[in-house]
Chain A
Amino acid sequence: MARLDPGLQAERTAIAWTRTAACCLANGVLFIPRYLRDRTDLAVLLLVAMAFALAAVTFVTARRRRRTLTRPERPGPVSARPLVTVAAGNALFGVLFLLDLLAHQP
């Protein structure tokens, strides 16, 4: 760190982003068994693709944020866009999953 960073604020924040990206991956991974069972199921394809895309976006944000936070200037607040992307992406994933759930009701 170029700047004196008492409490490792910047590092903790950067790591929190990376951790969030890893969590995004989990939702996609959970659908892989179902994908392997039926590779033509469009809903599953979409769900897996969405989860992985969300994870990728978050990883990129984590990298950018890490770079910003290690600069010597005092860091400003994060822009709302990546946060809204993760939240909206997860919400959309949930809605899609609910629709899939209701469609496959026995």
Chain B
Amino acid sequence: MPAESVFRAAPGRRGEDAEAVETTAAPEVEREPDYRFTLANERTVLAWLRTSLALMAAGVAVVQFVPLLGRPAVREATGLGFTVLSVVVAIAAVLRWRTVQRAMRRGRPLPGSAAVWVVAAGLAAAGLGVCVMMLAGP
């Protein structure tokens, strides 16, 4: 259990640490980070998953509930865009959760993420699509 490993790692930490530094090159040493960071990482991935679920809902809503808005092709393209973005975000969220947890275990700096930019660009494109639909009228 990871919960126990935190406890077990804590008391013998000094001795193990010194040994590890001498025997192996430091980067491969893995230790569970402070539980608050672990939980923060968990909440972050859940927030990303909720973003993904919300994008899916937006995609479904555009297709199902605004039949009078714009041409069918544009409407469906917008719904399609939302859905694809949602799928990408869901997969990226879990991958990032794993990468971040690993980086924290090894005491490495957290990796950067392009996800925010991708979502922002996607939302901007979808917003433009909706604007065009509203201006063009039925």
Where the two chains meet, the residues of A that have a C-beta atom closer than 8 Å to any C-beta of B are 7, 9-10, 12-13, 16-17, 19-20, 23-24, 26-27, 30-31, 33-34, 68-69, 73-78, 80, 83-84, 86-88, 90-91, 93-95, 97-98, 101, 105-106
Contacts and interface: CB of A to CB of B under 8 A. Distances in A.
Contacts of A31: 60, 64
Contact of A77 (B60, B87, B101): B101
Interface stretch (B18-26, B42-50, B110-118, B121-129): B42-50
Given A34-B64, A97-B59, A26 B53 contact: yes
B38 A75 contact: yes
B57 A9 contact: no
B53 A30 contact: no
A12 B56 CA distance: 24
Q: How large, as a class, is the contact surface on chain B?
A: 35 or more
B56 A90 contact: yes
The B interface, classified by DSSP as helix, strand, loop or mixed, is helix
Contacts of B3: 68, 73-76
B39 interface: yes
B105 to A, nearest CB: 9
Q: Is the interface of A mostly helix, strand, loop or mixed?
A: helix
Given A9-B36, A20-B46, A76-B2, A87 B93 contact: yes
B39 A20 contact: no
A48 B46 CA distance: 22
Contacts of A7: 36
Given A86-B49, A87-B94, A101 B38 contact: no
Most buried by A among B7, B57, B101: B57
Contacts of A84: 94
A9 B40 contact: yes
Can you list the 7 inter-chain pairs with the closest CB atoms, starting with the nearest?
Answer: A76-B2, A76-B3, A23-B53, A87-B90, A94-B87, A16-B46, A87-B94
